[in-house]
Chain A
Amino acid sequence: GAVVSQHPSWVICKSGTSVKIECRSLDFQATTMFWYRQFPKQSLMLMATSNEGSKATYEQGVEKDKFLINHASLTLSTLTVTSAHPEDSSFYICSARDVADSSYEQYFGPGTRLTVT
């Protein structure tokens, strides 16, 4: 089955620093990837849609200058949290759609837990 990986699986950083999270589709190509954020005991919240070769589309209320998304290839999207603050601590999850899959199923990564101290 289609596999999506994320790196790192967890990261601790100091307030004010930037953190990059990678999302890779391992055995399929994904022109579109999605980034979600999930706070404890809450549901997933879609942050942005990452499109290969073009700018990401951000959901309302998500600061595009703070959450930088780059989708440079058909298998890799990155999310950079710039000038991180404790309130950015969360579980970040990416997903991808296989361009060759007619079901348009989303395949989710395992998530990255970010803790900002």
Chain B
Amino acid sequence: LAKTTQPISMDSYEGQEVNITCSHNNIATNDYITWYQQFPSQGPRFIIQGYKTKVTNEVASLFIPADRKSSTLSLPRVSLSDTAVYYCLVGLKTGANNLFFGTGTRLTVIP
């Protein structure tokens, strides 16, 4: 299992760009990186998934360096509603090892 390490918490002001980095030093060749968002008392919500370089969708960007030992979730211009816990998961798309959630990063957006 590719273990992931994230900061426990982060604070940011509204309107700023937030970058959350996840370390996964023992990522395997065929592993993908997936990020989820979870609000209190709700199930997680898929944000973005990537394998290498950069992936962008309507809510976030995911930057993955060439060695793939880390990844950075970038949230542009956060708002108060982005306050949540963000989880980074690493594993095969079809495999069981992308089902194990790490500690996550608790992002608090400050007005």
* A43 near B101: Cβ-Cβ < 8 Å: yes
For residue A106, give the distance in angstroms from its CB to the closest CB of chain B: 7
Residues of A within 8 A of B43 (CB): 4, 93-95, 108-111
Cα A73 to Cα B32 with chains together (Å): 29
* B93 near A103: Cβ-Cβ < 8 Å: yes
* B49 near A103: Cβ-Cβ < 8 Å: yes
Cα A105 to Cα B49 with chains together (Å): 9
* B103 near A110: Cβ-Cβ < 8 Å: no
Q: Which residues of A does B touch, CB under 8 Å? A: 4, 34, 36, 43-46, 49, 91, 93-95, 103-111, 113
Point out the residue from A46, A49, A104, A108 that lies within 8 Å of B44, measured CB to CB: A108
Chain B: how many interface residues by the 8 Å CB criterion? 18
Cα A91 to Cα B41 with chains together (Å): 8
* A104 near B103: Cβ-Cβ < 8 Å: no
Residues of B within 8 A of A36 (CB): 101
* A43 near B99: Cβ-Cβ < 8 Å: no
Residues of A within 8 A of B49 (CB): 103, 105
* A104 near B93: Cβ-Cβ < 8 Å: yes
Residues of B within 8 A of A107 (CB): 46
For residue A24, give the distance in angstroms from its CB to the closest CB of chain B: 13
Cα A8 to Cα B1 with chains together (Å): 33
Point out the residue from A34, A43, A103, A106 that lies within 8 Å of B104, measured CB to CB: A43
Residues of B15-53 at the interface with A, using a CB-CB cut-off of 8 Å, are 38, 41-46, 49
* B93 near A106: Cβ-Cβ < 8 Å: no
Cα A36 to Cα B43 with chains together (Å): 10
Residues of A within 8 A of B44 (CB): 44, 93, 95, 108
Residues of A within 8 A of B101 (CB): 36, 43-46
Q: Which residue of B lies closest to A44 (CB)?
A: B101
A sample of 24 cross-chain residue pairs with beta-carbon separation below 8 angstroms, ordered by A number, consists of A34-B99, A36-B101, A43-B87, A43-B101, A43-B102, A44-B38, A44-B87, A44-B101, A46-B99, A49-B96, A49-B99, A93-B44, A94-B43, A95-B44, A103-B49, A105-B46, A105-B49, A107-B46, A108-B44, A110-B42, A110-B43, A111-B42, A111-B43, A113-B41
Residues of B within 8 A of A93 (CB): 43-44
